[in-house]
Structure 1
Amino acid sequence: MTLIKEYNLIENKKAIFWLNMASIPLFIFFLILFIMYTYIFLENKDYSFSLNNGSFIGFILFFLLYFLLIVFHELIHGLFFKVFKKDRKVKFGFKNGFAYATSPHSFYSKGKFIWICLTPFTFITLILLSAVSLGFIPVNLFVNMASLHAAACVGDFYWVFLLSRHPGNILVEDTEQGMTVYLNN
């Protein structure tokens, strides 16, 4: 193996700042996308941006649900770390404004690491789409929760973007600070 690049996201305040900034247009993009989904497929024309449903308790419940969604998101990462490397430990944490799951010193192919990165976004979005489509959750809750979650996936999207810039047969080492990319020769 030949070292190509080390990415230390956890301690890179500049990258964290720009990822947080990138989450704002990402939120707006997904907000519009999910509003359009409810408008076209559910024929809902009554969306209004409200995180609290008009009450303080509604506000607290929304953020409690969102916190649980983030925990579920990280558990999905952890599950897929284990799916691809059963014998490796998985750690969970929160640092510099990011919740994270990691399997330190574990090596994954580029494809497997992309799966690990994108599976929580995909699963949670599909679950929320199904829930609103079947009438289990209100449209406003769906749009707000799905948009916030998608924007919070900015770090996962960033990893995929970085990996897409490395062609060829590479291995990705998951580290507690980020990832290290190696040429698999």
Structure 2
Amino acid sequence: MTDCYTHIIESTGEKVTRAGLKDTPKRAAKAFEFMTRGYHQNLDDVINGALFPSDANEMVIVKDIELYSLCEHHLLPFIGKCHVAYIPDGKVLGLSKVARIVDMYARRLQIQETLVAQIANTIESVTGANGVAVIIEAKHMCMMMRGVEKQNSVMKTSAMLGSFRDNQATRNEFLSLINC
């Protein structure tokens, strides 16, 4: 990957031997590896046994989970927050695991529409919840730094499964609790 970054930098007309760029290909490769570390994670390791029996059957919400991802079309970041809710059915997931699931999928080359569905489907399959809701709000550098250059645009996507899809009152409660 370092050699690829060397080629990219040289393609701009720069010289990687310049003092400020001397170690940039190595640093860029290391950064890109970090930003795509979700490919080297698996769900079992992320959950790490933190699924617990519970009689809870009311909505569980984790809101404002920050996320950082890379647009698969331009390799530019999109940055935002994710709100996750589920209605337990005999099992609850360790609190930090919700954020770790978000990170695992966000740290892959991605589009937001797919990301929101991956998170919701995973929470549902892991917990067996009666319903799962996920909303992502993000700013996309591919729209802000290039192309139409719209600095204040925010993309919102949602995935509603089970009772969040089937029951308007449940969906409304979730939306009001996250102030969306």
State the TM-score, normalized to the length of structure 1.
0.26
The structure with more radius of gyration = 2
State the TM-score, normalized to the length of structure 2.
0.26
